[in-house]
């Protein structure tokens, strides 16, 4: 039986999980793949660190460059999560004809075009299932299962940490910081958790999904990104009163003319929509293809085991590609879609929370500003029980462009009766 050698770069949470499960499920993989997958070398930063798995000391090195020069290694698994070093490792592996498996979403979002141009030139596949939505096989689904479809839309909860935080805030009344600390302790958060809460990590994943769905690498500067840092428990409870829940959503859509939109922001979604019941670290993606119609993918979006499952699936793909070479390197560019709409032009519905003086005539002033900008209000309420000189006023706004709403917020914020900066959250009714 053939043995394929693996060089593992990075032995953090996911790297340790990959090693553990490759060892535990070795017999199953051997039966299913008809070959052996054997880790030949592991590059780590710190040789002495306890990783919770027993690794023969002879496998460890502190020099990732050794993976490139080792002839026993045919597959390089990049889990270092770095920028420059990870890029050098990946490009170096491709140049040497070694297949690549990576979960490095930030790197793919930024350097995907360069990586796949090199992969195509050298006819070396690069696999990246673990880069998006942990254990959910969404990359394989979009690339293979939906190959015959124009993808009309993808709505995704694609950051486990922020979904965990929003769930804990909503269900247990936990504060933002406590909920984040729990997610970090469970190993869901990025090394820099700011990326989880500021929408950056979800944006990396949205860029990868949109690029794969539409056949060109979407530039990061075209993607609107807002995080969950300013969501308050009041927003969560007001949204609930209106029949919505708040999720950090990646929204990717294409119109009939081939223009696409890619955005990540907190979003009010109807509590009856299936994505509203996706809680904790779970991710879910609703994908609509022109042939297949509506589909839904659900699973753990972060954590050692689910992410390892995706890396191992890619290792199996790499082993199959080594046995029978293929022309598809993992990303096929085409020119059927092209431009990415700027946020100003994108039309949405909105939740607006204002802190206003508690006196007659205030609602009329606000409605006047919106009316003059031709923006319709679909509902309005003033929560009961608030006392003092100011009260909250919550409005749901009909479809309007983001540019229209920017003007409205500027004018409303300048009214003397409005006492704090208006808070706006986009609403998605999936219509």
Hey, which bits of 133-182 come out as E strands? 151-157
Instruction: Given the residues 105, 205, 247, 253, select the one marked as catalytic.
Output: 205
Backbone angles phi, psi at 60, to 5 degrees: -85, 145
Question: Stretches 183-191, 206-214, 331-339, 348-356: which one binds ligand HSE (CB under 6 A)?
Answer: 183-191
Q: At closest approach, how far in Å is the CB of 264 from ligand HSE?
A: 12
What tokens were used for 105? 């979403």
Active site residue 253: no
Hey, which bits of 290-346 come out as E strands? 293-300
Backbone angles phi, psi at 145, to 5 degrees: -65, -35
Residue 402 engages ligand HSE in binding (rule: CB under 6 A): no
Q: Is 120 or 308 the residue whose CB approaches ligand HSE more closely?
A: 308
How many CB atoms sit inside 10 A of residue 220's CB?
A: 15
Length of the chain: 431
Kindly tell me which residue out of 120, 159, 211, 411 binds ligand HSE, with binding defined by CB under 6 A. 159
What tokens were used for 28? 């199953």
Kindly tell me which residue out of 78, 110, 129, 196 binds ligand HSE, with binding defined by CB under 6 A. 196
Q: At closest approach, how far in Å is the CB of 357 from ligand HSE?
A: 41
Q: Is 188 or 350 the residue whose CB approaches ligand HSE more closely?
A: 188
Q: At closest approach, how far in Å is the CB of 186 from ligand HSE?
A: 10
- 196, burial (CB in 10 Å: exposed 0-12, middle 13-18, buried 19+): buried
Residue 190 engages ligand HSE in binding (rule: CB under 6 A): yes
Kindly identify the residues of this chain, within the stretch 244-273, that bind ligand HSE according to CB under 6 A.
none
Kindly tell me which residue out of 13, 82, 161, 404 binds ligand HSE, with binding defined by CB under 6 A. 161
Give which of 198, 195, 210, 215 is closest to 253, Cα–Cα: 210
Rounded to the nearest angstrom, the gap between the alpha carbon of residue 218 and the centroid of all alpha carbons in its chain is 14
Q: At closest approach, how far in Å is the CB of 123 from ligand HSE?
A: 29
Kindly tell me which residue out of 16, 136, 166, 189 binds ligand HSE, with binding defined by CB under 6 A. 189
How many CB atoms sit inside 10 A of residue 103's CB?
A: 27
Kindly identify the residues of this chain, within the stretch 198-237, that bind ligand HSE according to CB under 6 A.
201
Residue 188 engages ligand HSE in binding (rule: CB under 6 A): yes
Q: Is 166 or 356 the residue whose CB approaches ligand HSE more closely?
A: 166
Those residues whose C-beta lies under 8 Å from the C-beta of residue 163, and which sit 6 or more positions away, are 157, 247, 248, 278, 279, 280, 281, 282, 283, 301
Residue 301 engages ligand HSE in binding (rule: CB under 6 A): yes
Kindly identify the residues of this chain, within the stretch 127-156, that bind ligand HSE according to CB under 6 A.
134
Look up residue 418 and give its DSSP letter: B
- 396, burial (CB in 10 Å: exposed 0-12, middle 13-18, buried 19+): buried
Q: At closest approach, how far in Å is the CB of 134 from ligand HSE?
A: 5
Residue 317 engages ligand HSE in binding (rule: CB under 6 A): no
Q: At closest approach, how far in Å is the CB of 301 from ligand HSE?
A: 5
Q: Which residues bind ligand HSE (CB under 6 A)?
A: 134, 159-161, 188-190, 196, 201, 301-302
Residues that are catalytic: 205
């Amino acid at each position: 039986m053939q043995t394929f050698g693996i060089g593992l770069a990075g032995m953090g949470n996911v790297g340790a999980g990959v090693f553990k499960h490759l060892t535990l499920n070795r017999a199953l993989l051997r039966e299913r793949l008809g070959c052996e997958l054997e880790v030949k070398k592991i590059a780590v930063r710190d040789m002495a660190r306890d990783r919770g798995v027993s690794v023969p000391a002879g496998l460890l090195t502190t020099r990732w460059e050794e993976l490139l020069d080792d002839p026993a290694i045919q597959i390089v698994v990049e889990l270092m999560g770095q920028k420059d070093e990870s890029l050098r490792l990946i490009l170096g592996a491709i140049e040497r004809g070694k297949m690549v498996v990576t979960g490095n979403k930030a790197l793919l979002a930024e350097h995907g075009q360069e990586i796949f141009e090199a992969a195509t030139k050298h006819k070396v596949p690069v696999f990246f299932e673990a880069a998006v939505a942990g254990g959910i096989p969404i990359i394989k689904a979009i690339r293979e299962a939906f190959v015959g479809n124009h993808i009309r839309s993808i709505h995704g909860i694609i950051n486990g940490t922020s979904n965990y935080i929003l769930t804990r805030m909503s269900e247990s009344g936990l504060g933002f910081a406590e909920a984040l600390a729990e997610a970090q302790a469970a190993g869901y958060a990025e090394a820099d958790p700011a990326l989880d809460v500021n929408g950056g990590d979800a944006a990396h994943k949205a860029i990868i999904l949109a690029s794969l769905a539409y056949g060109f690498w979407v530039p990061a500067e075209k993607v609107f990104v807002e995080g969950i840092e300013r969501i308050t428990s009041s927003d969560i409870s007001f949204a609930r009163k209106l029949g919505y829940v708040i999720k950090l959503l990646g929204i990717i859509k294409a119109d009939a003319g081939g223009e696409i939109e890619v955005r990540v922001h907190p979003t009010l979604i109807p509590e009856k929509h299936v994505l509203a019941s996706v809680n904790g670290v779970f991710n879910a993606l609703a994908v609509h293809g022109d042939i297949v119609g509506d589909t839904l993918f659900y699973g753990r979006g972060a954590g050692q085991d689910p992410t390892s499952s995706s890396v191992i699936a890619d290792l199996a793909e790499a082993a199959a590609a080594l046995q029978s070479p293929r022309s598809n390197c993992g990303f096929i560019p085409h020119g059927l879609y092209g431009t990415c709409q700027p946020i100003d032009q994108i039309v949405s519905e909105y939740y607006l929370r204002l802190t206003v003086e508690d006196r007659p005539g205030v609602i009329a002033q606000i409605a006047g500003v919106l009316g003059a900008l031709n923006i319709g209000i679909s509902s309005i309420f003033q929560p009961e029980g608030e006392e003092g000189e100011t009260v909250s006023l919550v409005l749901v706004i009909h479809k309007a462009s983001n540019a229209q709403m920017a003007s409205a917020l500027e004018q409303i914020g300048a009214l003397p009766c409005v006492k704090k900066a208006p808070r706006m959250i986009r609403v998605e009714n999936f219509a």
